[in-house]
Amino acid sequence: MIGFSEFEAITFDCYGTLIDWETGILNALRPIMRAHGVSATEGDLLKAYAEHEAIEEAGEFKSYRDVLRGVVAGVGMRYGFDPSMDERDALVDSIGGWPVFSDTVEALRVLSWRYRLGIISNVDDDIFAATAQAFEVDFDMVLTSEQARSYKPSSTSFALALTRLGLPKDKMLHVAESVRHDIVPAKAMGISCVWVNRVKASGRAAGASGATSETSSGADIEVPDLKTLVKTMGLSG
C-alpha cells in the first residue's frame, strides 16, 4: 500500500475515469449504424472505436476533433458505408453531454479538501471546457493533448503536468481507467498510479472488448470506482 499522505496532487484521466465515455460513444454511434442499416454489438462498436482512435492518434499531431472525425470515418469503412459530414461530427458534438459517473462529483469534492487536483486528458481545450462544469470543482491544473501537442501514452503529457504543478514525481498520484494510455507511461516515469477498473465494476467479463480493454496493470492500487478509492484513502464526505 502506498502512503497517500505523501502526495500533494492527484491527477486524473477524464474520459473513461470521471466520465462514462463508453455510454457516450455508444449513444453517438448507434444512430449512425441504424441509419445505414448496420447491426453491431456494443463490444464490437467499442473495439472498433478503440482501434481507430489509436490509428488516428498515431503520427503527426492533429486535433482531437479531427481524431474523432477520423474514427467515425474508419468505423463506417469497417462496416461498409461512408458517413456524412454531420455523422463524422457526431462524436465531437455529443461529448458535452456524456454522463458523469455517479461517484465522480462527490469523490472530487472530498479529495479537493486534501489535495491539489489536475486533469491529463487526450482532448482539445474546448472539448474539456464543455465537460468541466459537470464536475463542480475547480482543478488546479488542466492539461489537454492540444496543449501538450501529443497524445497519451506518450510521456510528454505526464512530464508537462509535473512541470506545471511544480512537483517531483513522488508527490503526484495519477488515477486512470486506461492501462495503455495512462498507467503504463506514468509508471514508466516513476509516478504512482491507481487503476480504476471500471470494466470489472461494470460486470463485463474479463477480457471483454471495450473502449479500453485491459485485464491487468502495473498500478500500485486497483479499485473499482472512485468511491472505493476515497474510502481506501481514509477520507469521507
Active site residues: 13
Assess contact for 204 and 235: CB atoms under 8 A: no
Instruction: Give CA–CA dist 193/190, Å, rounded.
Output: 9
Q: Give strand pairing partners of 223.
A: 196
Q: What are phi and psi of 12, to 5 degrees?
A: -130, 140
Contact indicator for 92, 126 with CB cutoff of 8 Å: no
Q: From residue 5, how far is each of 49, 111, 116, 171 by CA, in Å?
A: 38, 12, 13, 9
Q: Using CB atoms within 10 A of its CB, is residue 6 exposed (0-12), middle (13-18) or buried (19+)?
A: exposed
